[in-house]
Structure 1
Amino acid sequence: MIDLKQNTLLREIPNNLLQDEKVKNLAKTLQTSLDQMRDWAYKINYTLHLDKLDDAVIDHLLWEKHIGWNEGLSLATTRQQKINLIQTAINTHRRKGTPAAIEQVLEALNLPGDVIEWFQYEGEPFHFKVEVTTTNITSKTLLLIRQLVNEYKNTRSWLDFVAVKLPKNEYIEIESSKSHYPVYLPVCGEIYCEGVPGAGTKKSIEIESKNYTYPVYMPICGEIFASEVIDTW
């Protein structure tokens, strides 16, 4: 890659021409104007100083970089996450349709995840799953992650499910048509929030139909599959 700050006309002109003093002096004179234009180019390159920009400018740059609602904006809850999306926009759009693009945009959103393809877990051909490590996940966040993955995936590939890995003693909110209140499930180990990822001890959940005005906590230790809960997505 060419570094404009170090590249000069004197470096580009052949040595035999530089033996002519007129050519050499002309190159030095032109270089002064080129250096001024280069300095202005760096000043107007907002991406070099994103941390110093106003929020309104950050939002405009997201639009300029084609970061739409399903391309990460819906999950960007902090200023730093928006900056991360801007910084990685060129690479993620260039790699769109590949597992690398999905993993990179999830990383930018502080949702580190892995794309696992069908031949890695005995799935159907051209199917894949995504495993994300996060905390305090909600069913709405899961829906947004699924929309994000569908935006960046290959059009011929099919997403089976999004599996969320939660650290010990974290909670996940489960919505159910059988309840009128949020239900939080404390988890010891891993929890898969969608689909059936494969082997594992399934825990059935029976939610009573009562209208509580406070969160209900249900102790779960091991793995739980949300497909066993009638949700309202």
Structure 2
Amino acid sequence: MITKIIYDSILKQLAPKLIKNNIILEVAEVLIKKHIIDNIQFLVFLDRINEMQEWELDYVAKELHVDYYDYTMSLENKRKACQESLAIHNEKGTVSGIKRALNIFFKDSSLEEWYQYEGEPGYFRIRIDGKIPNNLSQIRERIESVKKKSQHLDKIIFLSNSNQKLHYGTYMMHGRKCSTRSTKLTLNFLNNK
């Protein structure tokens, strides 16, 4: 609305009669258009996080104080982190705050509190569907930045549905030399009657 008023030269109509035809008003109008109207999209940054370039997201993350933000994250994760930062700050120290922070980096993650798995009071554990990432210490740091100090991370459990060969071997020590070998093991869990 304001951009339309200024852009449609209504500024001259609103000016007092004394300066309506003054060159200063025309210069002011050009400057307002050049520096404010043409750049107004950059003033509202929360609405355009999905359109921002990576360097802009870095500045927004610093401005929003995203504790778990890392400059080496993927562009998609940076966007999610900036979008969720205000909600996470509001829920910091709660179970839902930890879940929100984890869901930025892992699609299927869940949190179990101590009474849900018969642990010690004040402890919780995290279940993540997927493969184990290389940066486990980084995950722990991100959780630490969101949780309460009285909450303690018991363990992180990674669940994987992968189809891999299972290698097994046995070794017995009775004065004889034994060797181990790898083999393909097929487990049948169906009830055959």
Match for 1:114: what amino acid? S
1:105 aligned onto 2:65: no
Unaligned runs of 5+ in 2: 3-13, 15-35, 170-181, 188-193
Structure-2 residue corresponding to 1:150: 144
Change (3 A) 1:83 1:158: same
Q: What is the distance in 1 between the residues matched to 2:69 and 2:185?
A: 31
Structure-2 residue corresponding to 1:85: 81
Structure-2 residue corresponding to 1:125: 121
TM-score, normalised on structure 2? 0.61
Structure-1 residue corresponding to 2:48: 49
1:95 aligned onto 2:103: no
Match for 1:59: what amino acid? D
Structure with the larger strand share: 1
Contact 1:129 1:162 in 2 (8 A): yes
Q: What is the distance in 1 between the residues matched to 2:108 and 2:158?
A: 10
- The worse-fitting range, judged by mean Cα deviation, of 100-109 and 41-50 is 41-50
Match for 1:90: what amino acid? L
Structure-2 residue corresponding to 1:73: 70
Change (3 A) 1:98 1:131: same
Structure with the larger helix share: 2
Deviation at 1:221, TM superposition (A): 9.4
Structure-2 residue corresponding to 1:163: 157
Which digits, 9 at most, give the CA deviation of each residue in 1:37-92, with x for residues without a partner?
Answer: 9x986651112122322221111111111123xx1427x63101100100000000
Q: What is the distance in 2 between the residues matched to 1:159 and 1:219?
A: 37
Deviation at 1:160, TM superposition (A): 0.6
Structure-2 residue corresponding to 1:61: 60
TM-score, normalised on structure 1? 0.51
Whose radius of gyration is greater, 1 or 2? 2
Change (3 A) 1:53 1:72: closer
User: Identity over aligned residues, as a percent?
Assistant: 21
Q: State the superposition RMSD in angstroms.
A: 3.7
Match for 1:147: what amino acid? E
Change (3 A) 1:50 1:163: same
Unaligned runs of 5+ in 1: 6-28, 30-36, 170-185, 189-202, 205-216, 223-233
Q: What is the distance in 1 between the residues matched to 2:103 and 2:84?
A: 10
- The count of corresponding residues between Structure 1 and Structure 2 is 144
Q: What is the distance in 2 between the residues matched to 1:159 and 1:94?
A: 21
Which digits, 9 at most, give the CA deviation of each residue in 1:6-33, with x for residues without a partner?
Answer: xxxxxxxxxxxxxxxxxxxxxxx9xxxx
